[in-house]
């Protein structure tokens, strides 16, 4: 009887192997898919699909983008709902290239800084009006 195989993971993108604890490829950074165990002995009934088929299925599932990676979800979150709080969703999305992620990050950061500046100016103006009103009424 042979020794049991060490659990390994295989990158679906570049084919590099890694440890069973690796969640991302050390070569290209893609999510790692666990390699299925080879059946030991003559338990052919419960062995399941061959390794190549199982790895192909794991790679197909890993390649399928989630709904949260869709540009139709990420862009409204960035510009209408969450602003910079959606940066994590943007940077995890595989549907945007790195240059687009950088551009969108800079645009949203610039808009956020501008909005904060405008709110600060508005606050100062309201504060000044409140002091003028207090002086005009002789204090409370």
**pLDDT above 70: percentage of residues in the chain:** 70
Q: 2 has which bridge partners?
A: none
Report pLDDT digits (tens) over 111-128: 999 999 999 999 999 999
Band of pLDDT at residue 16, cut at 50, 70 and 90: confident
The confidence score (pLDDT) of residue 21 equals 81
pTM value is: 0.51
Is the CB of residue 84 less than 8 Å from the CB of residue 107?
no
22, 66, 36, 28 alpha-carbon torsion, rounded to 10°: -40
Is the CB of residue 75 less than 8 Å from the CB of residue 87?
no
d(Cα 32, Cα 7) in Å, to the nearest integer? 13
The confidence score (pLDDT) of residue 34 equals 56
CB-based burial, 49-72: b 16+ in 10 Å, e otherwise = eeeeebbeebbeeeeeeeeebeee
Is the CB of residue 74 less than 8 Å from the CB of residue 83?
no
**Which residue ranges make up each domain of the chain?**
8-63, 68-136
Report pLDDT digits (tens) over 53-100: 666 666 666 666 677 788 888 889 889 889 999 998 888 888 899 999
d(Cα 86, Cα 119) in Å, to the nearest integer? 21
Q: 19 has which bridge partners?
A: 8
Band of pLDDT at residue 31, cut at 50, 70 and 90: confident
Q: Is the pLDDT of residue 49 over 60?
A: no
């Amino acid at each position: 009887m042979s020794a049991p195989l060490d659990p390994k993971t295989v990158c679906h993108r570049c084919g590099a192997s890694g440890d069973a604890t690796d969640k991302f490829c050390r070569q290209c950074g893609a999510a790692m898919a666990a390699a299925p165990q080879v059946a030991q002995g003559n338990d052919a009934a419960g062995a399941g699909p061959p390794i190549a088929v199982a790895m192909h299925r794991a790679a197909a599932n890993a390649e399928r983008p989630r709904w949260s990676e869709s540009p139709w979800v990420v862009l409204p979150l960035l510009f209408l709902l969450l602003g910079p709080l959606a940066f994590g969703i943007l940077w995890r999305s595989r549907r945007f290239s790195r240059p687009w992620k950088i551009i969108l990050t800079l645009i949203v950061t610039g808009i956020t800084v501008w909005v904060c500046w405008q709110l600060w100016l508005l606050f100062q103006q309201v504060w000044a009006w409140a002091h003028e009103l207090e002086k005009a009424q002789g204090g409370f």
